């Protein structure tokens, strides 16, 4: 159940740059049409003039959704759109995703359809390479989650005695057993020269497509590393495949390696960010128990250390240098802590190659609440950098239960979603006006507030560019 903000009519944005940026979608009322120019009323408060990229039959007073294709100093270019919920009325042969998969010679099934939808949600390039790479990764994840006693897992590296012909033969056998078909070409390689890994690479840190699942009876030459990856794999009966598709789509969008370590840690962070941060704090405290100051903390005036887990390369290097002193410890518990901490740090490094990813615990006065605040922002150097900062807050409160808040900040415009209990809805709505006023006082505009009652907000959902996938109607075709 989603309840829209009732006060937004009194809080309209002040300038077109805030709302009409490239890629933004909005709904407006048609006031006038002159050739390819359109005059649209937005929110019942103001009118804009724009140019239509495509011809479309419209009538005065029609309410239509538009996608902002481009914004120049003197011209706004719009394109009509149709939302996902209207797709139910479109025949299968006209389904844009079905047609896309067919044109790329990729088999249409639930996995491929969901993958494309999620790539759209993350505003990732919808290319054959991305789709096939995503399906291959999901296929491998399915294999590793459903190993039998007759299976073995082999890591293919440069010194591997396994010949390429043998690899292809075993791949064909695997394809007969798996439920996800990539395309009609039975000889498409799952393992190529590009994903054969360097020697001495840890199995949990490589792209999972480099892990080959074969029959024990068919191979006596290679070490079986199945036991080494057990802790990183969820049993097939407990796999949330919908969430895995989101994770792999997110990795494709931000060019993050789909390693078992990265998948495991993003699952944990996504499902329970509070526990994820707690684990880091506890491990850091144990490793640094003999140090007067934690290298992962900030010393406050009252000599109390405030822990902050950040994306700074220098801090991560400090952490790695510090924990390397414990790699040969005979303390088994400490050794396990060091391993877990190293894995989480490696995950943070990969996350921060193309993102600015920062998170830290929430503390209130002298009493520490169980909570975490996460900031995620795309790298400014990226071609499609959109300048948006995504903020995720998850906190266990004393009286209101677990509250999750998702905020997206673009320029000075804020969108908010709050995941609360049904019994607390009236309380939050009664204070909504005060929240809007406080946001205004600190120099920000509010686009919308949604109260989410029946679905849990997760970190991976806060960085979605298009929450409701839209299909562009190219009316020239």
The string of pLDDT tens digits covering residues 154-188 is 887 655 545 445 555 554 554 444 444 433 333 33
Q: How many CB atoms lie within 10 A of CB 168?
A: 15
Q: In angstroms, rounded to a whole number, what is the distance separating the alpha carbons of residues 454 and 475?
A: 37
Answer yes or no: is pLDDT of 466 > 70.
no
Question: 12-36 burial, b for 16+ CB within 10 Å, e for fewer?
Answer: ebeeeeebbbeeebbebbbeeeeee
- pLDDT at residue 15, rounded to an integer: 36
Three-state DSSP at 120 gives helix
Confidence band (pLDDT; 50, 70, 90) for 218? Answer: confident
| Lowest-confidence pick of 55-69, 242-256, 317-331, 455-469 | 317-331
Rg (C-alpha) for the chain, rounded Å, is 25
**Selection from 373, 403, 365, 370 nearest residue 391 by Cα:** 373
Q: Which residue has the higher pLDDT, 197 or 344?
A: 344
* Main-chain phi, psi angles of 418, to 5 degrees: -125, 125
- The pLDDT mean for the chain works out to 72
More confident residue, 228 or 187: 228
Which range is least confidently modeled, 108-112, 199-203, 320-324, 396-400? Answer: 320-324
Tokens of 398: 């004393």
What is residue 424's predicted lDDT score, i.e. its pLDDT?
A: 92
In tens, the pLDDT along 2-14 reads 333 333 333 333 3
pLDDT digits (tens, 9 = 90+) for 374-416: 777 776 666 555 677 888 888 888 888 888 888 888 888 888 9
* pLDDT score of 356 more than 90: no
Residue 66 pLDDT grade (very low, low, confident, very high; cuts 50, 70, 90): confident
Least reliable range by pLDDT among 81-90, 256-265, 451-460: 81-90
pLDDT tens per residue, range 130-159: 999 999 999 999 889 888 888 889 887 655
Task: Give 299-337 as a DSSP string.
Answer: E-TTSPEEE-B---HHHHHHHHHHHHTTTT-S-HHHHHH
Asked if pLDDT for residue 265 goes beyond 80, the answer is yes
Three-state secondary structure call for residue 402: strand
* Residue 312 pLDDT: 45
* Domain ranges for the chain: 2-84, 96-251
140/239 Cα distance (integer angstroms)? 13
**pTM to 2 decimals?**
0.66
User: 407 near 423, Cβ under 8 Å?
Assistant: no
pLDDT band at 261 (very low <50, low <70, confident <90, very high): very high
% of the chain with per-residue pLDDT over 90:
10
For the stretch 413-452, pLDDT in tens is: 888 989 999 999 999 989 988 988 998 998 888 888 888 8
How is residue 117 written in tokens? 């939808």
The topology (CATH level 3) of 2-84 is OB fold (Dihydrolipoamide Acetyltransferase, E2P) (2.40.50)
Task: Give the mean model confidence (pLDDT) for residues 309-321.
Answer: 55
Predicted confidence at residue 248, as pLDDT, reads 95
- The mean per-residue pLDDT over the stretch 57-82 comes to 77
Evaluate if residue 115 carries a pLDDT over 70.
yes
Check residues 307 and 351 and name the one with the higher pLDDT: 351
Spell out a b/e string for 437-448, using b for 16 or more CB atoms within 10 Å of the CB, else e: eebeeeeebbbe
Alpha helices in 146-301 (DSSP H): 164-177, 226-229, 241-254, 260-271, 273-287
Range with the poorest average pLDDT among 160-164, 227-231, 269-273: 160-164
Q: Which residues contact 26 (CB under 8 A, 6 or more apart)?
A: 19, 20, 42, 65, 66, 68
């Amino acid at each position: 159940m989603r309840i829209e903000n009732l006060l937004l009519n009194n809080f309209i944005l002040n300038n077109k740059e805030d709302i009409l940026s490239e890629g933004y979608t909005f709904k407006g009322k048609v006031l006038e049409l002159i050739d390819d120019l359109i005059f649209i009323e937005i929110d019942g408060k103001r009118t804009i003039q724009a140019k239509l990229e495509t011809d479309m039959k419209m009538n005065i007073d029609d309410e239509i959704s538009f996608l902002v294709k481009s914004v120049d100093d003197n011209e706004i270019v719009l394109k009509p759109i149709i939302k996902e919920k209207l797709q139910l009325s479109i025949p299968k042969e006209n389904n844009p995703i079905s047609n896309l998969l067919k044109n790329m010679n990729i088999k249409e099934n639930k996995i491929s359809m969901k993958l494309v939808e999620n790539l759209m949600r993350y505003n990732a390039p919808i290319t054959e390479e991305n789709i096939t790479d995503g399906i291959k990764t999901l296929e491998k994840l399915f294999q590793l989650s459903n190993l039998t006693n007759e299976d073995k897992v082999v890591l293919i590296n440069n010194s591997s005695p396994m010949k390429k012909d043998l690899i292809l033969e075993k791949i064909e056998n695997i394809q007969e057993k798996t439920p996800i078909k990539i395309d009609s070409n039975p000889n498409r390689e799952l393992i190529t020269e590009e994903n054969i890994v360097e020697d001495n690479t840890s199995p949990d840190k490589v792209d999972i497509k480099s892990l080959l699942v074969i029959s024990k009876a068919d191979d006596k030459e290679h070490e079986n590393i199945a036991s080494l990856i057990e802790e990183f794999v969820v049993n097939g009966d407990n796999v949330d495949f919908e969430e895995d598709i989101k994770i792999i789509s997110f990795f494709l969008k931000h060019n993050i390696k789909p390693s078992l370590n990265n998948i495991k840690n993003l699952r944990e962070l996504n499902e329970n960010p509070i526990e994820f941060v707690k684990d880091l704090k506890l491990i850091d405290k144990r490793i640094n128990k003999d140090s007067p100051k934690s290298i992962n903390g900030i010393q406050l005036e009252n000599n109390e250390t405030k822990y902050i887990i950040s994306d700074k390369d220098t801090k991560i290097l400090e952490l790695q240098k510090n924990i390397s002193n414990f790699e040969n410890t005979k303390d088994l518990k400490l050794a396990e802590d060091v391993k877990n901490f190293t894995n989480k740090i490696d995950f943070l490094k990969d996350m921060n190659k193309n993102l600015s990813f920062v998170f830290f615990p929430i503390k209130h006065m002298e009493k520490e609440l169980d909570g975490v605040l996460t900031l995620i922002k795309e790298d400014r150097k990226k071609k499609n950098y959109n300048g948006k900062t995504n903020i995720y807050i998850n906190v266990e409160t004393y009286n209101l239960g677990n509250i999750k808040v998702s905020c997206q900040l673009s320029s000075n415009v804020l969108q908010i979603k709050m995941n609360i209990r049904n019994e607390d809805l009236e309380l939050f709505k009664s204070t909504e006006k005060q929240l809007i006023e406080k946001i205004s006082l600190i120099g920000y505009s509010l686009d919308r507030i949604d109260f989410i009652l029946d679905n849990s907000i997760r970190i991976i959902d806060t960085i979605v560019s298009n929450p409701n996938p839209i299909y562009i109607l190219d009316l020239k075709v």
